[in-house]
Amino acid sequence: MQTETVTLAPFEAHHLDDALALSRAAGWPHRREDWEMIWSLSEGRVALAGDRVVGTALMTPLGDTCSAVNMIIVDESQRGRGLGRQLTTAVIELAGDRECRLTATSDGLPLYEKLGFVATHQIVRHQGFAGGVGAPEKVKWIGPDALPALKALDRAAFGADRGALYDALAKEGPFAVIRNGDNIVAFAATRFFGIGEVVGPVVAENAEQARDLIAFILSGKEGRFVRIDIPEQSGLSSLLEGWGLPHQGGVVAMARGATGGPRTPGVRTFVLASQALG
């Protein structure tokens, strides 16, 4: 039996429906709108068997120094042929000299290690139907005029410029903030995602601020399906479980060509925007 020829091509808008079908077959929760947001911020490659999309990979530039490698899927019929490696290598090349970050399942870990990625920490997924949570008075909603301040805080915590991501997030949902006087010192975002909603990113000076921001957002979502992805070291797992969001698995955060910064002491990322985008 002749092996079907597979070629790589730029990931274009007309590939999105096939990409969505691939992710659904893989058990991912993404809607078309979720794909569109990530794709709009990214460059990518698709694997084509004829006109059929049988693999995807994206590289999301995060300023000039960093990138997120994400949305790597290979159709079940094409697995075991090295296609995942080809797609990942192709989008690493798109990243140029940027540091590359990604999240890996246990199945993907050996491949990424061979490509030079090093595990940095665990990411824990919490999701479920939010319970009743009180809203702290110190947290307030803000408008898009505060985006420059939020971008600066995120850059300090993340170590790279994710301004384009924040422009996209501002179109998807609101931001909640904590102020010290006139200065915003911590914030959180929320938006629709998959079969429900997601909270993140959350950037704060300490776990108490992160807790208050999450509580404020969840106070308006009782009974709704909510997902929150946290670095294991954030220390928020038991709190989220108590609020009706049990631990539902996780992934390994990895980096290639990491520079180690520059991050600013005193502010941290307590919740990810998503596993795909960090």
Q: What is the pLDDT of residue 41?
A: 98
Is 106 within the bounds of a domain?
Answer: no
Which CATH number is 56's domain given?
3.40.630.30
Q: Digits of tens for pLDDT over the chain (278 positions)?
A: 346 799 999 999 999 999 999 999 999 999 999 999 999 999 999 999 999 999 999 999 999 999 999 999 999 989 888 999 999 999 999 999 999 999 999 989 999 999 999 999 999 999 999 998 999 999 999 998 999 999 999 999 999 999 999 999 999 999 999 999 999 999 999 999 999 999 999 999 999 999 999 999 999 899 999 999 999 999 999 999 999 999 999 999 999 997 655 566 789 999 999 999 99
Whole domain around residue 207: which residue ranges? 126-271
Residue where a domain stops, chosen among 80, 97, 114: 97
Cis upstream peptide for 29 (omega within 30°)? no
Is 21 within the bounds of a domain?
Answer: yes
Q: Are 162 and 274 in contact (CB under 8 A)?
A: no
Is 14 within the bounds of a domain?
Answer: yes
Same domain, 62 and 185: no
Is 85 within the bounds of a domain?
Answer: yes
Same domain, 73 and 137: no
Same domain, 93 and 150: no
Is 36 within the bounds of a domain?
Answer: yes
Maximum Cα interatomic distance, the chain, rounded to a whole number of Å: 71
Give the phi and the psi of residue 176 in degrees, each rounded to 5.
-110, 145
Beta-sheet pairing, 43-49 with 52-62: antiparallel
Same domain, 195 and 245: yes
Written in H, E and C, the secondary structure of 173-236 is CCEEEEEECCEEEEEEEEEEECCEEEEEEEEECCHHHHHHHHHHHHCCCCCCEEEEEEEHHHCC
Q: Are 190 and 101 in contact (CB under 8 A)?
A: no
Q: What is the pLDDT of residue 4?
A: 78
Grouping H, G, I as helix, E, B as strand and the rest as coil, residue 251 is: strand
Q: Are 67 and 255 in contact (CB under 8 A)?
A: no
Q: What is the pLDDT of residue 261?
A: 55
Q: What is the pLDDT of residue 144?
A: 87
Same domain, 147 and 257: yes
Same domain, 229 and 191: yes
Total domain count for the chain? 2
Residue where a domain stops, chosen among 46, 77, 97: 97
Q: What is the pLDDT of residue 1?
A: 37
Q: What is the pLDDT of residue 100?
A: 98
Q: What is the pLDDT of residue 3?
A: 64
Is 187 within the bounds of a domain?
Answer: yes
Q: What is the pLDDT of residue 80?
A: 86
**pTM for the whole thing?**
0.95
Same domain, 214 and 92: no
